[in-house]
């Protein structure tokens, strides 16, 4: 459902506000495009049923804003684990008092809230989009031989390797990434790993080309090389 912007003030500042009105034409558009019923009766019903605020307001410095539904939302920037977690959104939006961010589904109103914040703070969104585009390319779910393992649980599925921004998860093995250095699509990782009751410090070289990951792991004097393919989302 759309609304009509009446006035805007303080866009991209700590006191951004947009005044809106839900017009008869907005209701007609909703009836025609969403409900498939362009009748005046539908328009009347939508106007009567719709209960929203007449403005959205926010602080572009902190990312906090109040949506048209009256929800207090926090825009917390890029979800750097986007490629590693199935069905996760590109950006993190939190409702006040909740510790998990909106999951990106229509039911969570992720797109609606992101659009409203973007109207208030387009510069913040633009910077977030650039950060998202430059996220580490090794982050993701990778399979060794069989694509079927992509739906398996991380840490419990043979042939599935998951890299998040700050950790990696293999079969019965987890590593906390301490240092990352990058040169183009080539990365060097230093991590502390725990597996089968042992803790070790490891070094890995990762090279990403399109949907392929070439991984070289160093364990003392031993070197292990494997090639992985990115799992589909």
Q: What is the pLDDT along the chain (233 residues), one digit of tens a residue?
A: 899 999 999 999 999 999 999 999 999 999 999 999 999 999 999 999 998 999 999 999 999 999 999 999 999 999 999 999 988 999 999 999 999 999 999 899 999 999 999 999 999 999 999 999 999 999 999 999 999 999 999 999 999 999 999 999 999 999 999 999 998 889 999 999 998 888 989 999 999 998 999 999 997 788 999 999 999 98
Tokens of 178: 């301490």
CB atoms closer than 10 angstroms to residue 111: 14
- State the helix-helix crossing angle for 110-120 and 122-133, rounded to 10 degrees: 120
Q: Are 117 and 11 in contact (CB under 8 A)?
A: no
What pLDDT score was predicted for residue 25? 95
Place of tokens 């506000």: 17
Give the Å distances, CA to CA, from 203 to 59, 141, 144, 160, 195. 42, 19, 20, 19, 15
d(CA 107, CA 104): 8
d(CA 2, CA 116): 11
Q: What is the Cβ-side half-sphere exposure of residue 231, based on CA atoms within 13 angstroms?
A: 26
3-state percent breakdown (helix, strand, coil) of the chain, nearest 5: 20, 40, 40
d(CA 88, CA 232): 13
Radius of gyration of the chain (CA): 23
> Residue 94 burial (CB < 10 Å; 0-12/13-18/19+)?
middle
């Amino acid at each position: 459902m759309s609304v009509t912007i009446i006035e805007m003030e303080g866009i991209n500042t700590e006191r951004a506000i947009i005044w809106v009105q839900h017009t008869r034409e907005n209701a007609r558009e909703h009836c025609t495009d969403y409900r498939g019923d362009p009748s005046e009766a539908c328009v009347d019903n939508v106007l009567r049923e719709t209960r929203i605020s007449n403005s959205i307001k926010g602080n572009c410095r902190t990312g906090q804003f109040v949506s048209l539904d009256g929800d207090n939302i926090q825009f917390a920037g890029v979800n750097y684990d986007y490629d590693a977690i199935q069905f996760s959104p590109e950006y993190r939006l939190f409702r006040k008092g909740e510790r998990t961010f909106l999951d990106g589904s229509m039911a969570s109103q992720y797109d609606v809230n992101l659009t409203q914040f973007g109207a208030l703070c387009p510069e913040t969104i633009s910077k977030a989009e650039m950060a998202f585009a430059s996220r580490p390319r090794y982050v993701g779910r990778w399979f060794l031989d069989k694509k079927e393992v992509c739906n398996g649980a991380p840490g419990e599925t043979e042939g599935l390797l998951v890299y998040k921004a700050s950790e990696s998860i293999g079969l019965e093995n987890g590593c906390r990434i301490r240092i990352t250095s990058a040169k183009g699509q080539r990365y060097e990782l230093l991590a502390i790993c725990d597996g089968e009751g042992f803790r070790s410090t490891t070094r890995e070289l990762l090279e990403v080309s399109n949907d392929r990951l070439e991984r070289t792991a160093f364990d003392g004097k031993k070197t292990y090389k494997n090639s992985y393919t990115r799992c589909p989302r």
